[in-house]
Structure 1
Amino acid sequence: MLQARSLLRLNEVLLKLDRYRVIVIDDLGYVKRDNAETGVLFELIAHRYERGSLIITSNHPFSTWGSIFVDETMAVAAADRLIHHGYIFEVTGESYRKKTSKAVTQQSVKK
């Protein structure tokens, strides 16, 4: 998407993505992105708003999205578009990966 943006073809790529009923963005905020990358991410969110579904997973609550996006205003605008027609599922408890890792470690110790 960054390359498409630099070639002034981002809208064309976004329109191609409209063929997909759902787009999944996993672990938003896990890796720090630069301003250009988060700008393109915002454009994807804005484009998908009222056009198609997005599933986004993140360990960051909306209140910290200002550190993910270019600025607080963009973070609020992204969250607003997602929340307007969205569903928020908050998962609590131990992570699946951590739980599985513990089980494997315990089995290794028993041997």
Structure 2
Amino acid sequence: MSISMSTFWLIVAIIFGVGELMTTSLTLIWFSIGALIVMLISIFIESILWQVVVFAVISITLLVIATKYLVDRDREVKYNTNLQGIISQKAIVVEDIEPYESGVVKLNGEEWTAISK
């Protein structure tokens, strides 16, 4: 039993897609998209070697461009969530904070573990 190259590339795209769902890095999605593109052009390109080369070029190019864009965009964003959003804010001490040990403070209705400067 042999499968067509289009079916093969669809399976590769699905595998990378499922792999991406298991991670949070936005890395494998570009290989999934590359496989989908090669799936479409595999109708015109019969050589498996050229299909693999096109897949690698498209996937790596998408990865590099997206990573550069996301990293540049990430540098401009100031996070106001979790720890980054509460650093340097004043809170009420609920449990004493001894030197070199942690205690508990209350900030915006939530209790946090804190260490004094």
The normalised TM-score by structure 1 is 0.25
Higher CA-based Rg? 2
Which structure is richer in relative contact order (CA contacts within 8 A, separation 6 or more)?
1
Higher relative strand content? 2
Give me the TM-score of the superposition, normalised by structure 2.
0.24
